[in-house]
């Protein structure tokens, strides 16, 4: 008898559980500070953000198929925070967006792909190196012998956007609300690159000069270094447990994220 009562109570409460929805509103911004001024170092080569299995935020059909609906700007409730960031000399807002989703587990909630900010694709390649001068067209309208379908695909990839901010965001429920953020902030920078070595005459009875190495105990060589411009990536990876209705701030030396998750019943 008790089991039947429990089943009836669960059946009555099931519609309210199934109807639970959340509005997620997000502001992404960067700090107006040179990375060199921050007392933290980042490697020049960073792994790109994994986009496998993600859904682009602009792909409304795929988002809705997974239970997510983009939020119109008329429903934003963090406009005050966005305006304060915009008016502050120390910050630059990059994106303000939101969506509604159901009570999704981590396995069911998709990772959403976002891009924002400047497009560096005209100046830099996907690996961060500066693009060389564009090749001239073959004379007399003749197609280059090396032109094929593979080179066409490469050319299309080269023209794809290379945004200042690129990354993924996922919100899910696992007893509590959780947010997983994985973003890459790109900024032009400079680095030293070794381009060769210049032989030096051996100096008897003296120590090796700084910055030189001995090769086969025959001669000394001096490293030749040049400074080149490249597009450096700074990673922002955080996972945070959250409470609905509260405004949370995820911090980073060069950027930040303001996020609010609001429970919608009914």
For residues 55 and 201, give the distance between their C-alpha atoms in angstroms, rounded to a whole number.
Answer: 61
Domain ranges of the chain: 18-134+153-190+232-264
CB neighbours of 258 closer than 8 A, spacing ≥ 6? Answer: 26, 27, 29, 78, 81, 247, 248, 249, 250
Q: What are phi and psi of 117, to 5 degrees?
A: 85, -165
SS3 (DSSP) at 203 = coil
For residues 248 and 132, give the distance between their C-alpha atoms in angstroms, rounded to a whole number.
Answer: 43
The tens place of each residue's pLDDT in the chain, 266 residues long, gives: 555 544 444 444 444 445 689 999 999 999 999 888 887 888 888 888 999 999 999 999 999 999 999 999 999 999 999 999 999 999 999 999 999 999 999 999 999 999 999 999 999 998 888 987 445 454 454 444 443 434 333 434 444 689 999 999 999 999 999 999 999 999 998 776 677 666 655 555 555 555 555 555 556 666 677 777 889 999 999 999 999 999 999 999 999 999 999 999 76
For residues 96 and 113, give the distance between their C-alpha atoms in angstroms, rounded to a whole number.
Answer: 14
pTM, entire model: 0.73
Q: Which residue, among 25, 54, 37, 150, has the nearest Cα to 90 in the 3D structure?
A: 37
């Amino acid at each position: 008898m008790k089991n039947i009562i429990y089943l009836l109570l669960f059946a009555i409460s099931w519609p309210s559980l199934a109807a639970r929805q959340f509005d997620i509103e997000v502001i992404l911004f960067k700090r107006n500070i040179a990375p060199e001024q921050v007392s933290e170092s980042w490697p020049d080569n960073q792994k790109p953000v994994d986009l496998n299995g993600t859904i682009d935020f602009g792909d409304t059909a795929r988002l809705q198929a997974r239970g997510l609906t983009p939020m119109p700007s008329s429903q934003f409730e963090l406009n005050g925070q966005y305006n304060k960031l915009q008016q502050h000399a120390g910050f630059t807002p990059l994106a303000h967006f939101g969506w509604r989703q159901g009570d999704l587990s981590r396995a069911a909630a998709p990772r959403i792909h976002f891009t924002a900010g400047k497009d560096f694709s005209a100046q830099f390649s996907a690996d961060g190196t500066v693009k060389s001068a564009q090749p001239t067209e073959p004379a007399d309208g003749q197609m280059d012998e090396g032109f094929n379908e593979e080179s066409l695909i490469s050319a299309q990839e080269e023209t794809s956007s290379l945004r200042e901010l690129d990354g993924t965001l996922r919100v899910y429920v696992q007893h509590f609300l959780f947010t997983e953020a994985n973003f890459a902030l790109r900024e032009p920078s400079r680095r030293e690159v070794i381009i060769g070595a210049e032989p030096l005459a051996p100096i008897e009875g003296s120590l090796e000069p700084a910055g030189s190495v001995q090769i086969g105990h025959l001669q000394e060589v001096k490293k030749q270094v040049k400074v080149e411009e490249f597009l450096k990536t700074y990673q922002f990876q955080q996972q945070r447990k959250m409470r609905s209705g509260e405004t949370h701030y995820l911090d980073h030396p060069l950027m930040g994220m303001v996020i609010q998750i609001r429970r919608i019943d009914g």
